[in-house]
């Protein structure tokens, strides 16, 4: 009988030890650095006067478009990401894995501002629609649409480096 108890005790100890949580592995966070790929300027519709300029990254392929500004903790005020699509269409974005709030500026093929989504909430997976067909989407830090008093019809110019 002692033999059976010993076997049962050993089985219980073995089960306990094999089920315990493995030690947690340390995972290094990857920092995604800004890489200047172009410049973008915004002009007032009525006067053609320069409102502001940005250094930009350009997302013009499927991977870059799907990843966007995910996994970044912040962005400098005069930086932004310009998404370039092959054709003008309705586009919807979300903030999955985006750690800081953004303003989205939706731009028509003729390079005029068509609509905005301001103060997009970090990590929110609800769709943020362009509401009208657009060819470009420009992501900037939240609050800059208000700060620069951007308006529908303002004009955009950009160049790739």
Q: In whole angstroms, how large is the CA radius of gyration of the chain?
A: 25
Task: Please name each of the domains of the chain with its CATH number.
Answer: 37-160 (2.60.120.1140)
d(CA 22, CA 37): 44
Distances from the Cα of 67 to the Cα of 7, 41, 58, 156, angstroms: 55, 24, 12, 23
* pLDDT at site 76: 96
**CA pair distance 75, 88, nearest whole angstrom:** 27
CA dist., res. 148 & res. 142, Å (int): 11
pTM of the model: 0.80
What was the pLDDT predicted at 57?
Answer: 97
- What's the CA gap between 89 and 49, in Å, rounded? 29
Q: Give 27-57 pLDDT, tens digit per residue.
A: 445 678 899 999 999 999 999 999 999 999 9
Residue pLDDT, tens place only, 81-116? 999 999 999 999 999 999 999 999 999 999 999 999
Whole-number Å distance between alpha carbons of 53 and 96: 27
């Amino acid at each position: 009988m002692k033999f059976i108890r010993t076997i049962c005790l050993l089985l219980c100890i073995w089960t306990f030890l094999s089920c315990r949580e493995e030690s947690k592995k340390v995972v290094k966070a990857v920092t995604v650095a800004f890489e200047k790929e172009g410049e973008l300027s915004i002009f007032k519709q009525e006067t053609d006067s320069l409102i502001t300029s940005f250094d930009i990254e350009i997302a013009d392929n499927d991977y870059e478009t799907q990843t966007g500004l995910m996994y970044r903790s912040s962005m400098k005020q005069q930086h932004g990401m310009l998404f370039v699509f092959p054709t003008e269409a309705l586009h919807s974005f979300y903030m999955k894995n985006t750690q800081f709030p953004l303003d989205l500026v939706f731009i028509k093929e003729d390079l005029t501002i068509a609509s905005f989504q301001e103060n997009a909430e970090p990590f929110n997976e609800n769709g943020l629609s362009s509401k009208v067909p657009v060819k470009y989407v420009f992501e900037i830090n939240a609050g800059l649409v208000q700060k620069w008093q951007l308006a529908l019809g303002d004009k955009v110019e950009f160049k790739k480096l």
